[in-house]
Amino acid sequence: MTPRMTVNELCFASAVEVSARIRSKDLSPVELAQGLLQRIDEHNGHVNAFAHLAGDLALDAARQAEREVMDGAPLGPLHGVPVTIKDLHELEGYPFEQGSRCKAGTISDTDCPVAARLKAAGAVILGKTTTSEFGWCGVSRSPLTGITHNPWQHGFNAGASSAGAGAAAAAGFGPLHQGSDGAGSIRMPSHFCGVLGFKPTWGLVPHVPVRNNDQVSHVGPISRTVADAALFLNATAGAHPFDHTSVIAPSTDYLEDLDVDVADLRIAFSPDLGHARVDSEVAGLVEAAVGLFEAFDCNVDVVTPSWGPEGPEIGRFFWAVHESPLAAHLEEWEAEMDPGLVACIRAGLGHSAETYLAMRAGKLAYVEQMHRFMADWDLLLTPSVSVAAFPADRLQPADWPHHPWDWLSWSEFCYPFNMAGLPAASVPCGFTSDGLPVGLQIVGRRAADHHVLRAAATFERAQPWAHRRPTLGP
């Protein structure tokens, strides 16, 4: 008989492992949920990863999952596996407050497609994770929920609007966490928290309602292992009738061949995209990680993409303009909103249609350059983020230029691949001298999601990370 798992082992076990144990009746979904809820009760006060924890509902779902296992009912790929949903996405009967006092008390009357698909796959929903206000920035705080703390350093940034998901993954609050990424909000928390984050190709996982931000918001997983991210995609990928941008693609098993190393790839490595400032410790860890790919018989070339320096002007213009509709909240709520968000909203106001369309033409040309560049390479490697975690009461690190709203200055490697719709993963590649995680970004061609996951899994075997766990306070 398989040995009984301790509570600590349960909390850090992978979704792939607990799924297999549940199916073989070696693990009770109820025991798993109880173990996680015990850990969350002990440590979430230190981390603040949950906007809304639903322990009673999770236990009810776990009991139902256990009955189905014992009755021999058909089981989905995530049967009994605990997951979380980010509070920028709807979950029927749960609060939907989006990190803002403007939305306090709002209750969803529907499931977003990714939540519905996770439920249909048998997942047990633990609750909803924290987000920055309306998902606007790369720092883990909101006026409604306060600071979400990095599990590796209390008071430090856990990163972007999926910060609760990233912090929960690192803290052992379950194996699978749904995130979304409009300018790095899956990859940044993964980088800061030392976990795996995967932003799929645009439209692979449906997003309803379709966001009015020119197709940059991707839905995907944050987990501790590559295989768990693949399992998430198996359950959630595919076209949806309510998302006209979702991808109609052949059915793919994203777990297939993850155990086979990539080899003989043409890999581009850009340490700065031709313009980005990067802290020296981050740069050194990423460069060392890139060197591992040469051991896989890959051809790695250092490159300076000609399109890179065009990104900052485009990224900042569209980030502010696409926040400007939130100006509708200012008259009533400005004093209770994030001051950085207010500044960003105001920066986006007043642009003419002619200016917007001219900038959009420039953006489309920029995106085309990226796709043409990627046609010559199997993968592009970069830092995930320019800095390691810094105090979450700041918008920029202390030694970086101050700006009332521009956090993009330290995240120049993320938003280009949202605009291009390319798949990208952040994989942990080491720790700074202060013990803070750093991520390597792996970018693939459009629809090459499986290829990116295989490269990430190859790196994971060469330089494992899932055994590294933060020491949490009380």
The DSSP annotation for 424-461 comes to EEEEEEEE-TTS-EEEEEEEE-TT-HHHHHHHHHHHHH
The first and second tokens of residue 393, run together, are 């009461």
Q: Which amino acid is at 439?
A: G
Angle value at C-alpha 378, between 375 and 382, nearest 5 degrees: 105
Burial class (CB in 10 A: 0-12, 13-18, 19+), 137: buried
Dihedral angle, C-alpha 130, 131, 134, 140, nearest 10 ° = 140
Using DSSP, how many helices (H) and how many strands (E) does the chain show?
15, 15
**How far is it, in rounded angstroms, from Cα 269 to Cα 381?**
5
The DSSP annotation for 281-300 comes to HHHHHHHHHHHHHHTTT-EE
**How far is it, in rounded angstroms, from Cα 311 to Cα 321?**
15
Write out the catalytic residue numbers: 86, 161, 185
Q: Which residue has the tokens 């918008």?
A: 395
Residue count of the chain, please give it.
474
Burial class (CB in 10 A: 0-12, 13-18, 19+), 219: buried
The DSSP annotation for 109-167 comes to SS--HHHHHHHHTTPEEEEEE--SGGG--SSSEETTTEEPEETTEEEEE--STTHHHHH
